[in-house]
Amino acid sequence: MKILYIYAQQEPTSFNAALKNTALYALKEKGHEVKLSDLYAMNFNPVLTEEDFTKRKKPDVFKPFLEAINAVKTGAFAPDILAEMEKVKWADLLIFQFPIYFTSMPAIMKGWIDRVLAPGFGFNPITNSAYETGLLKGKSAMIVTTTGASKEWYSEGGEHGDLNKHLESVTHCVFEYMGMQALPSHIIYEVSRISREKGDEELEKYRKRLLEL
């Protein structure tokens, strides 16, 4: 299987970094082909601007939706976007790993989604049934994430509410909207207080999850 691992965490000695390294080793050990987009290391620009398009359809007014549709036809995306699109086209599975920021993903990863999974590339912009005609059909996607707060806080009735429901803005409204199968999210709670022993247990649990893909 071909796997694109999209990763957003700044600190190379963090628990998230250990998760990512565990994943890359396990996936390659299993014989999968893996490509990594380490967004902070790449200094990936998350901001969608006019510079995203090398040739404009409407130079007088900036309409990113229309420019993206035109760029899909003409190849007029900026080089960094095209490079990530090629990785997406290559992959069978996309794994998005990030720590939770305010019940969602870091801005740099949201920006990757905004810029790379563009209309005409990730989803069909000219249909009323986009969920049935998503342009990434046949692929799968999965979220791997960590929280600072406890599982109780992120459960139904907890202070923050059910984290899986928060993540539906991605698992349903992005992954499934684009035709991908959304695999169950892998969530590790309260890593801000995790012990080394518990951390090792969680790394092993994640490794086994990936080996079962």
User: Is pLDDT above 80 for 127?
Assistant: no
Of 120, 131, 160, 161, the active-site residue reads: 160
Please indicate whether residue 154 is annotated as part of the active site: yes
User: Is pLDDT above 80 for 129?
Assistant: no
Of 7, 154, 177, 206, the active-site residue reads: 154
- Domain assignment of residue 154, given as a range: 2-211
| Tens-place pLDDT, residues 74-120 | 999 999 999 999 999 999 999 999 999 999 999 999 999 999 999 99
pLDDT for res 125: 81
Q: Bridge partners of 2? A: 33
Q: Which are the contacts of 35, defined by CB distance < 8 A and separation ≥ 6?
A: 2, 3, 4, 5, 87, 90, 91
Please indicate whether residue 160 is annotated as part of the active site: yes
| Tens-place pLDDT, residues 177-212 | 999 999 999 999 999 899 999 999 999 999 999 999
pLDDT for res 26: 97
Number of domains in the chain: 1
Pairing of strands 33-38, 140-146: unpaired
**What average pLDDT does range 128-156 have in this prediction?**
91
Q: How far is CA 13 from CA 19, 23, 89, 98, in A?
A: 11, 15, 31, 15
User: Is pLDDT above 90 for 14?
Assistant: yes
pLDDT for res 128: 67
pLDDT for res 97: 98
Of 25, 101, 148, 172, the active-site residue reads: 148
Helix (H, G, I), strand (E, B) or coil at 129: coil
Any idea what the CATH number is for the domain that residue 191 is in?
3.40.50.360
User: Is pLDDT above 90 for 48?
Assistant: yes
CA-CA distance, 47 to 39, in Å (whole number)?
Answer: 13
pLDDT for res 84: 98
